[in-house]
Structure 1
Amino acid sequence: MVIAKLLAARAGVAERAVQSRHLRRVWGMPGTLLGTGAWPPNWRDRTHVRFNYWWQAHLLDCMVDAYLRKPTGARKDVVQRLVRGIRVRNLTSWTNDFYDDVAWLGLALLRAAKEVDVVRPKAIDAIARRLRDGWTDHAGGGIWWRRNDDFKNVPANGPAAIFLARLANAGGERSDLTRARSTVDWIEEHLVDPGTGLAWDGLHVHPSGEIREIEKNVYTYCQGVLLGACVEIGRSGQPEVWLDRAARVVTGVHDHLATNGVVKGAGGGDGGLFAGILVRYLAQAALVIPELDPQRGEVGSLAAELVYQSAEAAWLNRSMAVSGPLFGPDWAQPTVDRDARDLSVQLGGWMCLEAAALLERHDVRM
């Protein structure tokens, strides 16, 4: 049984901890904020020499979560300042050479516009153009991991599909929905393990367009974005097909990527975000799947169980600093402070708590 408002309170504590430790202005410029890459920060972090573009996108997404949990003018101001900080630090444009990075910022900006009324249409347009242009027929379709590369992977194609589907569902070009469907179909054809139903990482492509090698690593990140894409596309029609795929992913995660209902960690660095991303989209599955098909309530309950169990473990295994809780990269283990320095790891924990608080607000039970 979920205790009323307890999870919201925990998410608020995580929010304050990340803000107090990591948020700094960009080069002293008024009206800007970014998250330092580590805590305690060294000079590279304090001056934002080290710039993890996609970590900042998830920081922005977490602040949108916080605003939805409790809308305030102060939270809206942080969202505005983060958006400006990202643009200032990125120097020349809203995009970079990594299609996954660009898709994550696009998703965060779409949510900031819809939920917080912080609107950047030129940024959304630039990101949409970049993602549309990333599709090629090499290896049968899909977009690249980065420009001028030979690798196509789920971490780029998954968030791109979610972004394009949301753009279409919000009244944009219907062709973007077709692109999103084709992207997930490509993942299903080439990068899903027939044994577990889980997504592999990606594949390398010869210049001729033929597949050279498949990277069969199984990451929590990949399952999160594939699940999120299936759920988002399912909103727009033909839910049976898309929810079948979503249900398969939820079951696969429960059976292969969780221990006692707690999603497995993937270390620090970029891996610090992987489990949080999966839990974010498990929460969406828990909300949306029963709404689209009441006969699939058990799938929603299983997704909710994974969210709640992961959030409880992350909270119980935290360590404490003067500035607030520190989450570890593996929520099932007590946090070791040296493993909790990266912003990515703290965002993963915060994201997990916000996902649980979202389900709490909607009275979703396991």
Structure 2
Amino acid sequence: MAERAVVRRHLRRIAGVVPGTRIGRIRWPRPLPSSPVPWHYWWQAHLLDCMIDAQLRSPERRRAHAIGALVRGVRLHNAGSWLNRYYDDIAWLGLAVQRAGILAGRSGPSALAAITNRLHDGWTEGGGGGIWWRRDDDFKNAPANGPAAILLARDGQSAFAAAIADWMAETLIDPDSGLVRDGVRVASDGSIRAVEPYIYTYCQGVHLGACVELAERDGHHRFTDRAMAIVDAMTHRLADSRGVLPGSGGGDGGLFAGITARYLADAALRMPELAGAATRIVTAGATAVWNGRAEVRGGPVFSAEWGRPAMHPGRGVPETDLSVQLSGWMLLEAAARLQRAG
């Protein structure tokens, strides 16, 4: 039901007419035709990831064609390139294309090569290491480094992935809460000028995801220990008393909690030590978001804040954003994976 609602409302051909393409409309209901339409590259990556989740759950030829069309649509809409200024954007798309495999079509290998090469270029020793958030900037953050580490580990580049994950653990973990802070500002001499202390939900998820990948591939106990520590910190210092993760409004923030649910489900399925705690958070969120849904034309609408009832979509309402609806869909796919696994 979540998939049908998002696909019916948001998935369209580019400009409504370009054959062999799909792209995610960023809002529903649509704004007035005169309103500017921003390009949210990384939302499309998570739309692709959700469609792959659905294909793994219940394979369909129609959806398989739509996955390939969405990959083509992203490149076409992005002026024929897989890349932009933001290292986090391209890492997210790389993860989705990597998961898509042959469904991404002949362009998949070229996309992954371009993205992984650019991620290598983003690493410098300034700030002790790490990948920049975007080119020509002074900021290094968890949302760029976490997905990059996951992608590179899955690509067989474990040494580089481990260096990124170690930098995150050494630089971004808050010593008081054990949670991952947003990032650091790097001075021109390479020293850390300031730490951005904000605790965003998806920073925890990508740190966990990198640790889970490396615990399997690298085998060093530090990654298992870090994965256990971050799930414990999320349980006691981030989730509410029911185990529900907080939301971050609409816009980009709409994706944050859903991303973390994805990597919690991965952790539950791949690390027996985390199965109970990670499953509880995912299940609590899925129960809350489903019980709090709004039923409108075309199916459910999910809340931007899983712990409260959803508002009906409209101008200025976060539930209007594709990001928020993808997050709810992503959460339910994560819960379904855990249920299928028992």
* TM-score, scaled to structure 1: 0.89
Cα-to-partner distance string for 1:209-253 (whole Å, 9 max, x where unaligned): 111100011111100000000001111132522111001010100
1:50 aligns with 2:64: no
- The question of whether the paired residues in 2 share the 8 Å contact of 1:44 and 1:50 is answered with no
Corresponding residue number in structure 2 for 1:342:
321
The residue that corresponds to 1:253 in the other structure is: 234
2:180 to 199, 202, 207: 199
The residue aligned with 2:22 is: 33
2: CA distance between counterparts of 1:355 and 1:97? 30
Give the match for residue 307 of structure 1.
Answer: 282
Structure 1: 4+ residue segments shifted above 6 A: none
Secondary structure, aligned partner of 1:262: coil
Separation of aligned partners in 2, 1:44 and 1:105: 28
| Corresponding position: 1:78 with 2:66 | yes
Return the letter of the residue paired with 1:248: A
Tell me whether 1:145 sits opposite 2:133 in the alignment: yes
Q: Which amino acid aligns with 2:292?
A: N
Structure 2 SS opposite 1:233: helix
The answer as to whether partners of 1:38 and 1:45 remain within 8 angstroms in 2 is no
Partner of 1:5: none
Measure the CA separation in 2 of the matches of 1:167 and 1:261. 33
Do 1:267 and 1:330's aligned partners in 2 also have CA atoms closer than 8 Å? yes
In structure 1, the residue corresponding to 2:193 is in which secondary structure? Answer: strand
Establish whether residue 353 from structure 1 lines up as the match of residue 335 from structure 2. no
* CA displacement, residues 316-356 of structure 1 (integer Å, 9 cap, x when unaligned): 00001111100011111011123310000000000000000
Asked if the contact 2:158/2:218 (under 8 Å) is kept, the reply is no
- Give the CA deviation at 1:117: 6.4
What CA deviation, in whole Å up to 9, does each residue of 1:107-163 have, x standing for no partner? 00000006x464510111000100011000101100000000000000100000000
- Percent identity, please: 51
Check conservation: 2:97, 2:104, Cα contact below 8 A: no
Are the structure 2 counterparts of residues 100 and 285 from structure 1 closer, same or farther at C-alpha, using a change threshold of 3 Å?
A: same
Q: Aligned equivalents of 2:171 and 2:293: distance in 1?
A: 39
One-letter code aligned to 1:75: R
In 2: Cα distance, 1:267 partner to 1:134 partner: 29
Over 3 Å counting, the alpha-carbon distance change for 1:228 and 1:44 in structure 2 is farther
Aligned-pair RMSD on alpha carbons?
Answer: 1.4
Deviation at 1:195, TM superposition (A): 1.9
**Could you tell me how far 1:204 is from its partner in structure 2?**
0.4
Q: 1:92 to 1:218 in 2, by over 3 A?
A: same
Any unmatched runs of 5+ in structure 1?
A: 1-12, 169-175, 291-295
Q: Following the alignment from structure 2 to structure 1, what is the Cα–Cα distance between the partners of residues 297 and 266? A: 33
The 1-side partners of 2:280 and 2:6 are apart by 26
After superposition, the C-alpha distances for 1:176-232 in whole angstroms (9 at most, x for unaligned) are 211110001111111101222111000001111111100011111100000000001
Q: Separation in 1 of the partners of 2:37 and 2:324?
A: 19
TM-score (norm 2): 0.95
Distance change >3 Å, CA 202–CA 88, structure 1 → 2? same
| Residues 56 and 44 of structure 1, relative CA distance in 2, 3 Å threshold | farther
CA contact under 8 A between 1:224 and 1:277: conserved in structure 2? Answer: yes
Deviation at 1:78, TM superposition (A): 1.1
The amino acid across from 2:211 in the alignment is: C
Closer/same/farther in 2, CA of residues 319 and 186 from structure 1, 3 Å limit: same
Matched, 1:326 2:271: no
Q: Secondary structure at the match of 2:217?
A: coil
Whether the 8 Å contact between 1:157 and 1:183 is mirrored in structure 2 is yes
SS of structure 2 residue aligned to 1:29: coil
Distance 1:73 1:240 in 2: 42
Q: Which residue of 2 aligns with 1:214?
A: 195
Aligned partner letter, 2:200:
Y
Instruction: Answer yes or no: is the 8 Å Cα contact 1:276–1:349 preserved in 2.
Output: yes
